[in-house]
Amino acid sequence: MRIATFNLESLDLPPKAHVPLEVRAEILRPALARLEADVLCLQEVNGQPVRGQAERALVALDQLLAGTPYAEYHRVSTTGPDGHGVADVHNLVTLSRLPLLSTREVRHSLVPPLQHSVQTAEPADTDYKPLRFDRPILVTDLDAGNGRRLTVVNLHLRAPLAATIAGQKLAPFIWKTVSAWAEGYFLAAVRRAAQALELRLLIDQMLSEDPHLLIAVAGDFNAEDHETPLKIAMGAEEDTGNGQLSGQSLIVLDRAIAADRRWSVLHHGRQQMLDHILASHTLYGYFRSIEVHNESLGDEAVAYSKISNPPGSYHAAVVAQFALGFG
């Protein structure tokens, strides 16, 4: 069985998308085909309005997957802000060849929004406001055969880019003061770490119910494995100091990739592994191999300044193989 994750980077349709879907599909469909995934976790799938319908739908994704095996897979996705349809931007989508048992979204179910009073806003704003996560965590239970349940967690943590501060931007990436940028960066880091904590609490909750549960966590963590979000998610014994808790930790499978190949994003020449697949210890027993498909990946910082409307994604797909038969 193959489990994969792929950030499609704002999959959408014109006029919102600057590149026709047919152009993007020429790049993205071969990348999806190469994965040969039985379970595929996608991030940044935008929703489109449908004439005559009140709710948005994943029209762009339908068109991208048309004619591929994934078009026939079971599908679950995160919903819009009101709990209906899908959001306009950055939905999570999980596609599965395995039968669906259940699905749910987790957002501030275990970690309530933190309160913060912005110190650098113009005009001044001293009221405390909630720091809400950008999107939920998508949890899907699948029938892995022989009475086994596979739980797949699809997530996309906030990027390490400073959050907007009122009145403190000269342009989208140009700040008026260092203090405002610093506070914006702090707010982004807090949201990312807090949602990683909600993931950790969710994992502990599931393993307390079934210590041998097969759990795969796949997605764009926007962090490398030595950074705070991954360390919180992993819960490694060298951090807790308690070997009796080792069974509750998650294993970062991409550590099995050779160091010179282990990167999913290239930014200003720096190779970073930001997209990960983590496994519970029971699932790890079935783990056999993992790949990151970064051969054609360009430098995102260089590309955005030199290429007009790049059609692909500047995240590499990651796929793990498990000796876990089903069906």
Q: Is residue 279 part of a domain?
A: yes
Q: Is residue 242 part of a domain?
A: yes
What pLDDT does residue 135 have?
A: 96
Which CATH number does the domain housing residue 256 bear?
Answer: 3.60.10.10
Q: Which long-range contacts (CB under 8 A, 24 or more apart) does 160-166 make?
A: 160/185, 160/188, 160/189, 160/192, 160/222, 160/223, 161/185, 161/188, 162/187, 162/188, 163/187, 163/188, 163/191, 165/118, 165/120, 165/121, 166/118, 166/121, 166/122, 166/123, 166/125
What pLDDT does residue 125 have?
A: 86
Q: Is residue 37 part of a domain?
A: yes
List pLDDT tens digits, range 86-129.
999 999 999 999 999 999 999 999 999 999 999 999 998 889 99
What pLDDT does residue 126 have?
A: 85
For a pLDDT cut of 70, what percent of the chain falls above it?
98
Residue 67 to residue 63: CA distance in whole angstroms: 9
Measured between its terminal Cα atoms, the distance across the chain in Å is: 11
Residue 261 to residue 52: CA distance in whole angstroms: 48
What pLDDT does residue 327 have?
A: 60
Residue 281 to residue 216: CA distance in whole angstroms: 10
CA distances in angstroms from 58 to 28, 79, 123, listed in the order given: 16, 11, 39
What pLDDT does residue 306 have?
A: 66
Q: Is residue 96 part of a domain?
A: yes
List pLDDT tens digits, range 155-184.
999 999 999 999 999 998 899 999 999 999
Exposed/middle/buried for residue 174 (C-beta within 10 Å: 0-12, 13-18, 19+): exposed
Q: Is residue 200 part of a domain?
A: yes
Q: Is residue 327 part of a domain?
A: no
Q: Is residue 48 part of a domain?
A: yes
Q: Which parts of the chain sit beneath pLDDT 50?
A: none
What pTM was computed for the model? Answer: 0.96
Residue 168 to residue 163: CA distance in whole angstroms: 11
User: 9 is written with which tokens?
Assistant: 């980077």
Count the domains in the chain: 1
What pLDDT does residue 248 have?
A: 97
User: 194 is written with which tokens?
Assistant: 């807090």
Q: What is the domain extent for residue 255?
A: 2-322
